[in-house]
Structure 1
Amino acid sequence: MKNPVTNLDLPVHDLGRVDYLPTFQAMKEFGLQPPPDEREQLWLCEHPPVFTLGLAGRPEHVLAPGDIPVVATDRGGQVTYHGPGQVVAYPLIDLKARPYFVKEYVHRLEEAVIRTLADLGVTGHRVAGAPGIYVRLDDPFSHAVLLQKPQHRAPGSPAPQPDFTGLGKIAALGIKVSNHRAYHGVALNVAMDLEPFSRINPCGYAGLPTVDLSTMGVSVTWDDAARQLATHLTRLLAA
């Protein structure tokens, strides 16, 4: 593990390109027994090609994995793909030390992605009932409000059926909370080979388009996108 790349409240570590399974195991171990001098961290990394299947994941959503491994994991959600050119951010934090609960935590993770995209001129959107961040396929730079209704899930209401009309997914989200400690996180598509997404039903939704910044004409390096995302995460997740 490299030295922290920022000096903010949440120490940030750039792991580089690392295999998914040992990283997943290391996250769990950190959550169970964090070092006494550094109880929280934010890990930034990218993974070699891998499909991960969350606790709610159904094997039939993995359509044709081919030579890409499928790894069962303990985060929430369905199946997603990780690969080179994607910024993966894993906040390993103690929610008990914060004045917000899990739903607000998820909202802040999404907000960090939205602000990162805004830095690059792209407008990110939430879709009620479908965690993650989405962009307009016809005009990802438009600030117009989505036509989808409802746009937000009312507290206590059942999850609405998501409406992805005209949208593509640019960031996936999945977390696990155990004994108030959260791990897993968000993945932002920067400049990827998007073909593997066609081998799955992304997040369990058949035909859901997946996009990255590169295919929208936004030129940004992995390092710069990771730095911007880390900056927004450390500010929004402050204890």
Structure 2
Amino acid sequence: MPDVEIRQLGLTDYAVTLAEMQAYTAQRNADSSDQLWVTEHPPVYTLGLNRRGVRLPDNSIPVLNVDRGGKITYHGPGQLIIYCLIDLARSHLNVRQLVSILENSLIDFLADHSVAAEARADAPGVYVDGKKIASLGLRLKNQCCYHGLSLNVDMDLQPFADIDPCGYAGMQMTQTTELKIPLAMADIAAALTQKLKEKLAHVR
């Protein structure tokens, strides 16, 4: 089985990247590589498939309907995005197991920098002292997934206050700079993708 490929995309338009993920997933075959796409997006809210009762923002940032699970979240510069294009059947994984890999990779990365973090069964993502630092959202098609995780690194957190992040009113957000983790975005991306590759290799 081929190794997981890492694609460094830089700053990308959300809608364009989503279309590229969908296209890659639709044309996959048994030999298609699993890939991790590393990117950031200009300011955008994304509204998942669970749209009932969502509080929409009252600002000028665009809102896009997307095909991942969950409710509404915010993406912007200074937030690390890692999209996970994985053939779950080939890797003998189910969605819950992949979610655990994503959460545990984030938790392990933060632990390396003396930050205690946890996952929550009632609200997917990773939390530090009750504040959310990372969000997860996946889409499964023909046993292949796309979408992935977002980690707040050094961004404007104010747009989160204009929504109920992932459907939770009053959810507080944090980021690695607030936790005094002295790493640039590229270094965090390298460390986190390495942890993801290691955990994925363990089950392949």
Q: What is the TM-score normalised by the length of structure 1?
A: 0.80
> What do the CA deviations read for 1:169-201 (whole angstroms, capped 9, x no partner)?
000000001100000000011111111101110
Equivalence map 1:120-199=2 (5 Å): 120-136=113-129, 167-199=130-162
- Residue 168 (structure 2) pairs with residue 205 (structure 1): yes
- Which residue, 87, 96, 110 being the options, matches 1:94? 87
- Residue 65 (structure 2) pairs with residue 72 (structure 1): yes
- Which residue, 70, 75, 78 being the options, matches 1:82? 75
Shift of 1:109: 1.0
Distance (whole Å) between structure 2 residues aligned to residue 220 and residue 57 of structure 1: 35
Equivalence map 1:33-48=2 (5 Å): 33-34=27-28, 38-48=32-42
AA partner of residue 202 (structure 1): P
- Which residue, 10, 29, 47 being the options, matches 1:53? 47
Farther off after superposition, 37-46 or 109-118: 37-46
- Which residue, 19, 25, 29 being the options, matches 1:25? 19
Q: Is the 8 A contact 2:88 2:144 kept in 1?
A: yes
Q: Is the 8 A contact 2:45 2:61 kept in 1?
A: yes
Distance (whole Å) between structure 2 residues aligned to residue 28 and residue 83 of structure 1: 21
Shift of 1:34: 3.4
Distance (whole Å) between structure 2 residues aligned to residue 31 and residue 130 of structure 1: 27
Q: Is the 8 A contact 2:160 2:173 kept in 1?
A: yes
Partner of 2:8: 14
**SS of corresponding position for 1:22:** helix
Distance (whole Å) between structure 1 residues aligned to residue 21 and residue 53 of structure 2: 24
AA partner of residue 229 (structure 1): L
AA partner of residue 131 (structure 1): P
Q: Is the 8 A contact 2:3 2:34 kept in 1?
A: no
Q: Is the 8 A contact 2:54 2:71 kept in 1?
A: no
Structure 2 vs 1, CA of residues 101 and 37 (structure 1 numbering), >3 Å: closer, same or farther? closer
Aligned-residue identity in percent: 43
**SS of corresponding position for 2:134:** strand
Shift of 1:116: 1.4
Shift of 1:63: 3.1
Distance (whole Å) between structure 2 residues aligned to residue 12 and residue 45 of structure 1: 11
Partner of 1:103: 96
Partner of 1:117: 110
Distance (whole Å) between structure 2 residues aligned to residue 207 and residue 72 of structure 1: 22
Distance (whole Å) between structure 1 residues aligned to residue 178 and residue 132 of structure 2: 12
Shift of 1:42: 0.8
Shift of 1:76: 0.4
Structure showing greater Rg: 1
AA partner of residue 93 (structure 1): I
Q: What is the TM-score normalised by the length of structure 2?
A: 0.94
Q: Is the 8 A contact 1:93 1:181 kept in 2?
A: yes
4+ runs deviating over 3 angstroms: 34-38
Root-mean-square deviation (CA, aligned residues, Å) is: 1.6
